[in-house]
Amino acid sequence: MLSIITLLILIFSITDVLAEEYFPGNTWETRTAQELSLSHKQIDKLFKLTFTDTATMGAVLIKDGYIIKEQYVDGFNQNSYGTSWSTAKSFYAALIGISIDRDEIGSLDDQVSKYVKEFGSPEKKNITIRQILNMTSGLEFPSHEHEKMFFEDDHMKYALNVGVESQPGTKFEYNNVNSMLIGEILINVTGKTAKTLINERIFSNIGLNNYTAWEDSVGNTLTYCCLDMSARDYSRFGLLFSRDGNWNGKKIISKEYVDETLKQYWGSTPSMGWMHSDTRGYSLQWWISKYDEQAKIFNTSGKFGQFIFIDKERDIIFTRLTKYYPTNGEVQNFGTLRFLKFIGSVDAAVSVARFLNNIGLIEFAGGDIQTPITLEEGESKEFYENYVEIVDTLASLEAE
């Protein structure tokens, strides 16, 4: 009888080990599609659709924590940095969840004015943290979506001076100022910048050691746009959310906050010109790319085509980045390009900067200008055109 009990204990122990979730360490283990019951045909289709766009730098597909397929174009590899643009919004918003977990912030429904004195005016005092994270603050929303803020010396000063144009909580407007305010809330409740916090509270706990977190020239963390790292390291953050905020047995973010993030708030969003808005929802600085019986897929999204897709129910991560050549430093300094802030159109400013780089009057990679910049070769077109098919393919990776 004793031997049977011992045998059962051994069987259960082996089962527990086999069922234990895998987390990458300094290296990242791989598995074949067959080992994890995925379809080679669908995976090949996913990568073909992704690399049809010549702007693609690299992509990595992860299932159950293991790399299934990884691909880079010539001149780039698994260590190459991509720049996040607005993908960073999802990263920094996670710090709000951690501050709620630590009772530094009461709840998502607290008024921003409780933590940011500049929001004490009558028109701003009722705006909540949830509303800035769900892009429903009602703050002024010009045609350039406050991308002009990117050319300022003090991005936070710019953000705090933006007025109100509509009733909070009633209208979705993708406003970069909302995300910039994350840093002001965090520094006021913790005494630390978002750049410091994201390393202490997230990156150092998930093995993410090589990255650049950009600041403006007066020391504000750019919480609405700017992280540089490899596709693998972006995927670590995706895996953290896919695993309910847990990393190898340690709670980094509460499951409650992850669940609150990965639910449908806006089922569809207004057109952004290049994106299929009728298929995209939004919730707490994450986009919702598919939400139906087949799959619930959320994604971070960055200008020019930076994406981390996660399907938490199937524990699948798919990260795609466009071509990027890092400049020196981590503190924004436009130097000879300071005049760009006076150009009325953001698109025109980008075009001028690219032109000057192309003719050799300035140099981004290795030059004296310090800022994230995506050159024309890293600007997506086909990936956006194929977006719905890419998401549908991601939702049907299982072998038939």
- Beta-sheet pairing, 66-72 with 82-83: unpaired
The encoded tokens of residue 272 equal 């952004």
Whether residue 80 is contained in a domain is answered as yes
Smallest CA-to-CA distance from 224 within 126, 326, 145 is with 145
Contact present, 191 and 99 (Cβ < 8 Å): no
Other CB atoms within a 10 A radius of the CB of residue 266 amount to 16
Whether residue 82 is contained in a domain is answered as yes
Whether residue 9 is contained in a domain is answered as no
Whether residue 363 is contained in a domain is answered as no
Whether residue 346 is contained in a domain is answered as no
Whether residue 217 is contained in a domain is answered as yes
Whether residue 12 is contained in a domain is answered as no
Instruction: Give dist(CA 71, CA 80) in Å, integer.
Output: 12
Domain count, the chain: 1
The whole-model pTM stands at 0.92
Q: Which CATH number does the domain housing residue 386 bear?
A: 3.40.710.10
| pLDDT digits (tens), the chain, 400 positions | 445 655 545 444 444 444 589 999 999 999 999 999 999 999 999 999 999 999 999 999 999 999 999 999 999 999 999 999 999 999 999 999 999 999 999 999 999 999 999 999 999 999 999 999 999 999 999 888 888 899 999 999 999 999 999 999 999 999 999 999 999 999 999 999 999 999 999 999 999 999 999 999 999 999 999 999 999 999 999 999 999 999 999 999 999 999 999 988 766 566 555 454 446 789 999 999 999 999 999 999 999 999 999 999 999 999 999 999 999 899 999 888 888 888 877 788 888 888 988 888 888 877 778 999 999 999 999 999 999 999 999 999 997 6
If you compute the radius of gyration of the chain from its CA atoms, what whole number of angstroms results?
22
Write the DSSP string, 202-223. Answer: TGGGTT----EE-B-TTS-B-T
Whether residue 350 is contained in a domain is answered as no
3-state secondary structure of 278: helix
Task: For residue 221, give its domain range.
Answer: 34-329+371-394
The encoded tokens of residue 326 equal 């890092």
Instruction: State the first-to-last Cα distance of the chain, in angstroms, to the nearest integer.
Output: 44
194 HSE (CA, 13 A, CB side): 33
